[in-house]
Structure 1
Amino acid sequence: MNTRYGQLTYCSNIHPGEYWSDHFIHLKNNLPLVRKIVSPDAPMGIGLRLSNEASLELIKPEMIIEFQTWLETEGFYVFLINGFPYGSFHERIVKENVYHPDWATNERLEYTLRLFSILSQLLPKGMDGGVSTPPLSYQFFDTNDVDRKRRTENATKQIVDVLIHLVEIQIKTGQTLHLDIEPEPDGILGNVNLWVQWFLKLLLPAAISKVQSKWGVTKEKAEGMTKTHIRLCLDVCHSAVSFEDNQNIIRLLKENSIQVGRIQISSALKVNFPNEPKETMDVLVGFDEPTYLHQVVVKSLDQKIQSYPDLPEAIQAGGKPFEEWRIHFHVPVFLNSYGLLASTQRELIEILNLQKEFQITNALEIETYTWGVLPKELQIPVVESIIREFQWVESILEIGKKSKD
């Protein structure tokens, strides 16, 4: 749906179904009910999650025509695709496997190019569209810096291949498509600062050389083409977990003219331990579920930072008085507390206010996908959950609208 501050949608990774036929059923059962409430008088955009298996089905001409017909009939359009999870994302143990295959592999490259082919066919005329993707790889796949550096270099070469493909699409069709690379704690690009360093020092030199060689353009033109098609995916849950300062993020991006392909509107779990942390820890244990990876970053009273690759390791280490934990657990954005626990909703509101001020991106994607693994008392029907997420985000955006009118 089109708002004053960008296209607002939600990511369909909330819905199960790794095969397109199964996922399509969930879209047909849920999306019209959501649109009826949040966008009854105008078409509604979709942030479409496609696994590799689903992309192999949907790329078939008869399947994509069927989907296009449904989109037009029901009043939907696709302008974003989530290409982070390649394989299963529900009902199985995902954990660090969400990074497999990573950007050092041909499988990741072929999958991503297929997603862009699908997006190019679905994208409404005059809109740009993006595919989100992992931060190259998971840093713990390698046990030493030499192997990690080699993996990063191989991944970067493949990202440049995607860039060339996207420029060719733009030349042929006029469409602007972009790869939205998503920093995540413990990824090789674990935060926005690391993402920017990689972009400037590794990607940009390689991309400029390849683009100039292929099209004979100036260095400035080649740099502009790279920045058009390779963008940051700003997941607010991830940046909050890493204790990143939102003002610094925007400053860093502006200083280096880096574009944001989308903001993923999300909240992390936040825990502040009191004098006696045991009761809080007992509540936190209820969030220790086996499906997803829940990285933990801890800030102590003296501002020192320590991280754990997953929640069980942090729980085993134990919470100390006055520590603050940020946990990679996509909790509902419309709630700021869960009894003794809290969320990073304040950090999310700050990003949304910066979006209103600077128009960081034209794509706002609600990305809460953990409904099924939340403690039972926090679970509500999925359609009701999605609608509440939309209404909360709209309430924050409307605050700015009223103050400026």
Structure 2
Amino acid sequence: MPTLCKYEECTGCQACIQACKHQALRPIQNQHGFIHPYVDEKACIECGLCEIICPILNSVWVKNKLEPRTLAAWHKDMEVRWKSSSGGAFSALADYVLEQRGVVFGAAVTTKCKIKHIGITQRMELDALRRSKYVQSDIGKSYIEAKKFLQDGRLVLFSGTPCQIAGLYAFLRNHQYDNLYTVDFICHGVPSPFVFEEYIKRMETKYGSDIVNINFRDKRNGVEANLLIVFNTLKSGVRIERFKDNSFYHGFISSVFLRDSCYKCQYATMPRYADITLADYRNIGNKKKFEHEKERPLGFTGVMVNNEHGEVLIQNSEIQYEERYFAELASSQPHLKVPISKPSCSDDFFECLKNEGYDKAAKRFLPMSIKKRIEIGARMLLGVKFFYALGKLVRILTGKRSLFIE
């Protein structure tokens, strides 16, 4: 039987599953809701392809920049920016690919609030791929679909977590397609789909209605305070959960229910695997004056152009941007250097969830601390620019890490 990567190192990219021509591997969910490959011994012919494909067992070839060209970017259309979590840069890149009759892959909220990777070919479909989704997406057969489009000569833009991009390259056997562009983002880690499912059930009970869609970072209070989760319900209309009242958001930010591999992620580093990396640009203006300060209320996307191929996509796209320093963006992004640490309560949370249900697990392990309430209050009161300036001053005066959110 094949020897796959260690269970706790598996990222759930499913490259091995999609590569198996004999359907001897299939996705199954573990007790925490994360997908792992299961080997059907009767169907397996022991060809070893799954071992060769695995990006954890076999390093993916990468030759990207350690300090890439860095931009503060935004979409020219104000409406698109408001619909995006940050500045809408992803939409600008996708617009170009779709205009060339290309295909764009990304994570979407599907039926029953499941997060899955889909491919789109029309601009009217693009809104489904916008905005952050704080759950691990099911990659499905999107690598197989992307490869077919590439071989047919179609332009493809594939977006996903860093480990999903590594999985795609591994699935493609490191073949360099000129018609493939990849986009990842600076990842905090992927929360459990099972925890999210239980959370959605709790919200549906609370509102007495099925939830048909969700926006994890709504901007109706402005981009400086987009800490709202907004639900579209079947019977009771739009419902809003503020960050301070939202247990799922607390658990995500506190890293309580992430995938095991996230705590030892080999992709939380430089250089990146994707052609382009996107991020929230939280501390813009810290290293040099920002010339487009008046645009700040609508939000910006931090863009790292990791190689020349990514540069081609930037130049062909109608993306608005200002040149920045890589060090400025990196200074507020610790997961360009190290993965997130596993909280000591993580295992206990899952055990409580299994035995006592979501409400009791959330009450016991996911309350908002006084420190976090102060952080959020300061951010709302000061605005992001002065919030991070104050954090920098604290570091200088105390010699310690900022007391505020990084």
Tell me if TM exceeds 0.5.
no
Could you tell me the TM-score, scaled by structure 2's length? Answer: 0.29
> Structure 1 length as normaliser, TM-score?
0.29
Q: Kindly indicate which of the two structures has a greater share of residues assigned to helix.
A: 1
